[in-house]
Amino acid sequence: MQTDFKKLGLAVIETELAAVNKLKSRIDDNFARACELMLDCEGRIVVTGMGKSGHIGGKIAATLASTGSPAFFVHPGEASHGDLGMITTKDVVIALSNSGNTAEILTIVPIIKRLGVPLISMTGSPGSPLATEATINLNVSVENEACPLGLAPTSSTTVALVMGDALAVALLEARGFTEEDFALSHPGGSLGRRLLLHVSDIMHTGKDAPRIAPEASISEALLEMSSKGMGMTAIVDHSGTVLGIYTDGDLRRTLDKKIDLQHTRIDQVMTRNCKTVDAHDLAAEVLKLMEDHKINGALVTDADNRLVGALNMHDLLRAGVM
């Protein structure tokens, strides 16, 4: 008989969706108190758990740490052999155990309480020893595991992970955590580049920024565009003030009108009141401006509208912003 893998996969998803949906009613006063304890924490949030709960705990600790709440994971078995010294009186502990009876965690609970450290438990059994000993218990119980044998942690680990995400994001909002804060803890890869790069980091400056005088001919402007390879040139007066821009698109429109390229001044065909950006703008903001206005480049100006640089889509692409 052929196994219907799609049907089996969908059944797992339906079971876990139902379990997560029931979690909504658990976002209660206990949840709010847990958030307040973590928000007021002067130390770090220490997360612990055994087995699959430990894997979920590690993810929760990582999410908290990356969203503005200093946190780390401690293995409860190792805690009994010295790592408990990593927990200080200023910390808050989150302990995950679906049964609430995990021996390795229960062994260290008395020490945690002796330190006076608030203990937040996440259990599937509100009447369990861990739940009753905790300062606050968050109920993450499920009716059914997605595993047909009811043995492999599936729905229970999903629900615990979602509860952890709810805590982390609630704290993120409460702290006023911003995109730039997030990028500071994720400087590697495209995420950090997208959020932290400023126009000044990637723009062309000095002789590399295309510019030409208003009295120059169109053909002279084309030579400047070709030599700088940006598909555009700024038109500036003697003080460097931007009067307009001329782009590849403007050239196509010029050719359609059969204008004399040799003798027509560039200021007669340039685009006036062009979009400009500031060197301190985020590159991501400039990318959105280009996409919104369907342009491929922008001039960078100072407060007096003098040209300080230029950049185009290729620069954003090379920098990993796109």
Cβ-based neighbours of 44, under 8 Å, separated by 6 or more: 70, 71, 72, 91, 92
210: which 2 tokens? Answer: 């295309």
Q: How many domains is the chain built from? A: 2
On whether both 218 and 298 belong to a single domain, the answer is yes
CA distance 284 to 190: 11
CATH of the domain at 37: 3.40.50.10490
CA distance 144 to 250: 65
Chain length of the chain: 322
Amino acid at 253: R
- 128: buried, middle or exposed (CB in 10 Å: 19+, 13-18, 0-12)? buried
Query: What's the whole-model pTM score?
Result: 0.64
On whether both 173 and 264 belong to a single domain, the answer is no
Q: What is the pLDDT of residue 170?
A: 95
On whether both 27 and 149 belong to a single domain, the answer is yes
CA distance 22 to 20: 5
Q: What is the pLDDT of residue 320?
A: 79
CA dihedral sign, ordered 88, 91, 93, 94: negative
In DSSP terms, 246 is beta-bridged to 233
Report whether 245 contacts 274 (CB < 8 A).
Answer: yes
CA distance 40 to 19: 30
- Tell whether 193 is covered by a domain: no
On whether both 218 and 116 belong to a single domain, the answer is no
On whether both 24 and 164 belong to a single domain, the answer is yes
Q: What confidence tens digit (pLDDT) does each residue in 126-152 have?
A: 999 999 999 999 999 998 898 877 778
CA distance 86 to 82: 8
199: which 2 tokens? Answer: 């126009």
User: In terms of DSSP bridges, do strands 92-97 and 45-49 run parallel, antiparallel, or are they unpaired?
Assistant: parallel
Taking all residues of the chain, what is their mean pLDDT, rounded to a whole number?
A: 91
Neighbouring C-alpha atoms within 13 Å toward the C-beta of 210: 24
Q: What confidence tens digit (pLDDT) does each residue in 226-258 have?
A: 999 999 999 999 999 999 999 999 999 999 888
Q: What confidence tens digit (pLDDT) does each residue in 185-224 have?
A: 656 655 666 667 899 999 999 999 999 999 999 999 999 9
On whether both 214 and 304 belong to a single domain, the answer is yes
Q: Which domain holds residue 294?
A: 199-318
- 187: buried, middle or exposed (CB in 10 Å: 19+, 13-18, 0-12)? exposed
On whether both 166 and 311 belong to a single domain, the answer is no
On whether both 119 and 61 belong to a single domain, the answer is yes
User: In terms of DSSP bridges, do strands 307-312 and 242-247 run parallel, antiparallel, or are they unpaired?
Assistant: unpaired
CA distance 33 to 38: 9
